[in-house]
Amino acid sequence: MKTAFKFLKTLLIDPVRGNVALALFLIGITLIVLASLDIGWPARLAAILQTIGTTLLGGGVFAVIMKSAQFSDLFQQRIADVIYDPARIEDAQQLPQKWRLLTNAILKQVLPSTYDTAAAAIEQRYFTRELDYHFENYEATYDIAIDPKTGTATVTSTLRAQLMISPNKKTPCFEQTIRSDSPSRLTSLIINDSPVAVSDDAFKDEDGWRVLRVQLATYAVGHSYVKLERTFLTAQSKKEPFVSATVTRFTKGAVIRVKISDGYEVRMLSIGFDDYVRSDAPDGQGFTRWTLAPAEGLLLPGQGYTLVFVPTN
């Protein structure tokens, strides 16, 4: 008896021990065969055996596939694509959905009652607006001349930057707005080092704002970015001794340069960040510099600054 049991153990039990796939496969086949035999099984019992056998057989086949090196490599590659190379995901709509799931899970740890509202606010601010380009090598220059008799300030503001066009954006549009409480006019627009004539429709009043819009598609052909320089001239009364600017796009590397008439100084108030650096002395053209973000640093939408004109005596 002991010899017979040892024989059966060697023949049937040892091969499947530690091999779940083989065990499921053999048990599944056995149950399917038993269910098909016409030995007086109740119909209900035969159906149950057939179902269980089919399930176990499928599980065995799946286990064999999962253990195969080829499938493991393929599975790992697909997971790696999702995590490290999301651009390979064919359906781009899946990316925001996956981002929401991850962000909700993270924010739930610190905002258990309003995590979904916070995630929606982040998505709205950073991922759904003004995505056709971002700024790099951003430099804003302010030359402020104050009339000593009237206190009126004439501000010449020049923006120089590279507009990095986002992939798959067919109609990128440069847009900037200025409060129209004070008279403002566009004095210069240079794109890719060539002057551009701007029509009145490109810089007009809209609901209390002066809005400049320039379509960039023709300038971006064959280029990954558009080089832009524009200059506004604004007259401000002494009741408005300041200039405010809000970052509306991601900005990589940002510097502002400021020069003001004798008898005044400019104080900069940052909005949303405090790690800027001010130069110790004016540059060769008499401008004081603030580095808001180093060359590899980043300003985010919603951050900004205010320049306040202050008499020195």
Whether the model clears a pTM of 0.95, i.e. scores above it, the answer is no
- Over residues 98-122, the mean pLDDT reads 83
| 207 conformational bin, left if phi > 0, alpha if psi -120 to 50, beta if neither | left
Residue 25 pLDDT greater than 50, yes or no: yes
**Angstrom distances, CA of residue 210 to CA of 200, 275, 304, 306:** 11, 31, 19, 19
Give the up-direction half-sphere exposure of residue 121: CA atoms within 13 A in the CB hemisphere: 7
Closest CA to 146 of 266, 306, 286, 283: 266
The domain that holds 252 is classified in CATH as: 2.60.40
CB burial of residue 227 (10 Å; 0-12, 13-18, 19+): middle
Which residues lie below 8 Å from residue 174, measured CB to CB, with a gap of 6+? 133, 163, 212, 213, 214, 215, 216, 226, 228
In a domain, 218, yes or no: yes
pLDDT tens by residue, 252-272: 999 999 999 999 999 999 998
Residue 222 pLDDT greater than 60, yes or no: yes
- Do residues 24 and 159 share a domain? no
In a domain, 237, yes or no: yes
Q: How many residues does the chain have?
A: 313
- Over residues 200-216, the mean pLDDT reads 80
**Whole-number mean pLDDT of the chain?**
79
In a domain, 4, yes or no: no
pLDDT tens by residue, 84-95: 555 565 566 677
Q: CA 144, 149, 151: angle at the middle one, nearest 5?
A: 40
8-22, 96-110, 142-156, 205-219, range with the lowest pLDDT: 8-22
Residue 131 pLDDT greater than 70, yes or no: yes
- Do residues 92 and 219 share a domain? no
Banded model confidence at residue 7, pLDDT cuts 50, 70, 90: very low
Which residues lie below 8 Å from residue 87, measured CB to CB, with a gap of 6+? none
- Do residues 89 and 147 share a domain? no
Q: CA 151, 153, 159: angle at the middle one, nearest 5?
A: 165
Closest CA to 275 of 258, 250, 301, 254: 254
- Do residues 202 and 289 share a domain? yes
Banded model confidence at residue 139, pLDDT cuts 50, 70, 90: very high
Tokens linked to 118: 């916070």
- Do residues 179 and 302 share a domain? yes
Choose one of 80, 106, 126: the last residue of a domain: 126
CA-CA distance, 305 to 270, in Å (whole number)?
4
In a domain, 8, yes or no: no
Residue 82 pLDDT greater than 60, yes or no: no
- Do residues 168 and 221 share a domain? yes
The DSSP secondary structure of 91-120, one letter per residue, reads -TTHHHHHHHHHHHHHHTTT-TTTHHHHHH
The pLDDT assigned to 184 comes to 84
Choose one of 126, 151, 169: the last residue of a domain: 126
Q: Residue 29: give the domain boundaries.
A: 19-67
- Do residues 88 and 139 share a domain? no
- Over residues 121-150, the mean pLDDT reads 86
The pLDDT assigned to 51 comes to 72
In a domain, 77, yes or no: yes
The pLDDT assigned to 279 comes to 92
Round the CA-based radius of gyration of the chain to a whole number and report it: 34
In a domain, 283, yes or no: yes
In a domain, 76, yes or no: yes
- Do residues 183 and 282 share a domain? yes
The pLDDT assigned to 108 comes to 85
In a domain, 229, yes or no: yes
- Do residues 159 and 258 share a domain? yes
Residue 151 pLDDT greater than 60, yes or no: yes
Banded model confidence at residue 287, pLDDT cuts 50, 70, 90: very high
Which residues lie below 8 Å from residue 161, measured CB to CB, with a gap of 6+? 135, 136, 137, 138, 139, 228
- Do residues 295 and 263 share a domain? yes
Choose one of 36, 51, 67: the last residue of a domain: 67
Residue 12 pLDDT greater than 50, yes or no: no
- Over residues 25-34, the mean pLDDT reads 69
- Structurally, how many domains does the chain consist of? 3
Tokens linked to 47: 């159906």
DSSP 180: T
